[in-house]
Amino acid sequence: MAHSPGLPLPRTRTSVYVDGFNLYYGAVKGTPNKWLDLARLFQMLRPADDIQVIRYFTAMVNGPTKRNQEVYLQALGTTPLVEAVLGNFKNKRVLCSLGACTHGGKRFFEIPEEKRTDVNIAVYMLDDAYQNIADQLIVVSGDSDLVPALRMIRNRFPEKRIAVYVPAQHPTRSAAVELRSAAHRHRELPLNLLPLAQFPARIPDGAGGFIAKPPTW
């Protein structure tokens, strides 16, 4: 449909896919910016877009940081645009390569390994493309495991555009050559926006109470 003179240009329908652990380890860890309001961030980052949904992919951790993560997910749940999609962790058996371990025989130990996040992102992106919920898909990650999904979307839906924002505080993480090359556009996530996109210290929970920012954050 042709655009009528004098009317505002239609805003691009956009869906966003955030790799939670990639965002955390790439751009947030070790900073005071953990209390991140994703809706506010992407509204600042893409002010001309009509953002349909922001999907946040993560898995529940164990240990002392679990409660902080639960509180953060509750905070995200107060923003209608954001939908959290959870994977999980499974223990992985690993052979110890240190001399002290291998002396006298092989030794194995178990480490937690995040599962399903990459698959979840790929599935949701493809499903959203098939359902035509957006004209533009934005991926926040530097993980090359997502390359096949981006290539499939470009092949099946050539009219849709894909942009990648790589979250990185350090140049070694910002390369992400394979993922960048699979998108139409790419750049690093602007870290200067993170301090400007923080939740208030206390957020109404919608039930008469409040969600408080974790004290260690």
Q: How buried is 47 (Cβ within 10 angstroms: 0-12 exposed, 13-18 middle, 19+ buried)?
A: exposed
Q: For the whole model, what pTM was predicted?
A: 0.85
Indicate the pairing of strand 210-212 with strand 202-204.
antiparallel
Distance from chain centroid for Cα 104:
44
The predicted structure's pLDDT at residue 201: 97
Q: Is 56 a residue whose pLDDT tops 80?
A: yes
Query: Predicted confidence band at 170 (pLDDT cuts at 50, 70, 90)?
Result: confident
In terms of C-beta distances under 8 Å and separation of at least 24 residues, what long-range contacts does 196-201 make, across chains too? 196/40, 196/44, 197/36, 197/37, 197/38, 197/40, 197/41, 197/44, 198/33, 198/35, 198/36, 198/37, 199/35, 199/36, 199/37, 199/75, 201/35
Express each pLDDT in 86-125 by its tens digit: 985 444 454 555 556 655 556 654 444 555 799 999 999 9
Q: Is 158 a residue whose pLDDT tops 70?
A: yes
Query: Predicted confidence band at 68 (pLDDT cuts at 50, 70, 90)?
Result: very high
Query: Predicted confidence band at 175 (pLDDT cuts at 50, 70, 90)?
Result: confident
Q: Which residue has the higher pLDDT, 15 or 174?
A: 15
Task: State which of 10-14, 41-45, 105-109, 204-208 shows the largest mean pLDDT.
Answer: 41-45
Q: What domains can be seen in the chain, in order of their start residue? A: 12-88+117-204 (3.40.50.1010)
